[in-house]
Amino acid sequence: MSGLFETLSGAKGIRAQGKSEQNISEFNAKVAENQAEAQRNKAAFAQKRQAKKGVAIQSALEARLGKSGGTGSAVAGDLVGAQAEELELENLLLGFEGEVFAGQAESQAELDRLQGKLAKQRGKAGARKANVDFGVQLGGAFLTGL
């Protein structure tokens, strides 16, 4: 009987809509989590590529210094060290940016899940209200019919 009552009151549809919205939010959360993983992978790849590029830059710098006969000077050593520091900072920045973007995507996933839970709760509350309203209407109809 409660199934019929829920159908007549419209509560069944309201409850289903809340669950459907939760399912959509869960799907969006999974997409955001996949984006977070992709951002981390992209950053890791960029770091590897930059590290290889850094080795080539460092080697070219050392070769130019060697060709010009300046490998033994303190300035040349400082220049090589400064270049290495710059390349390391660039590599760290790539990783940091990737982590920031991944964190944003993970936050979005959490937000999507929370919105889904709220939608489901709204659906349940709306269904209860529809049942109460319908029950009041039925009660009123019986009382006026007597």
- Give residues with Cβ within 8 angstroms of 19, minimum separation 6: 120, 123
Q: 39: buried, middle or exposed (CB in 10 Å: 19+, 13-18, 0-12)?
A: buried
Is the per-residue pLDDT at 98 higher than 70? yes
Residue 95's SS3 state is helix
Quote the domain boundaries for residue 125.
2-145
- What's the confidence (pLDDT) of residue 1? 47
Is the per-residue pLDDT at 103 higher than 70? yes
User: Average model confidence (pLDDT) for the chain?
Assistant: 87
Position 12, amino acid = K
Confidence of residue 72 (pLDDT cuts 50, 70, 90): low
Give the rounded percent of residues in the chain with a pLDDT score beyond 90.
51
The Cα 68–Cα 14 span in angstroms is 80
The mean per-residue pLDDT over the stretch 55-72 comes to 76
Is the per-residue pLDDT at 146 higher than 60? no
Split into its structural domains, the chain has a count of 1
The mean per-residue pLDDT over the stretch 116-132 comes to 92
Q: Which tokens go with 15?
A: 């409850």
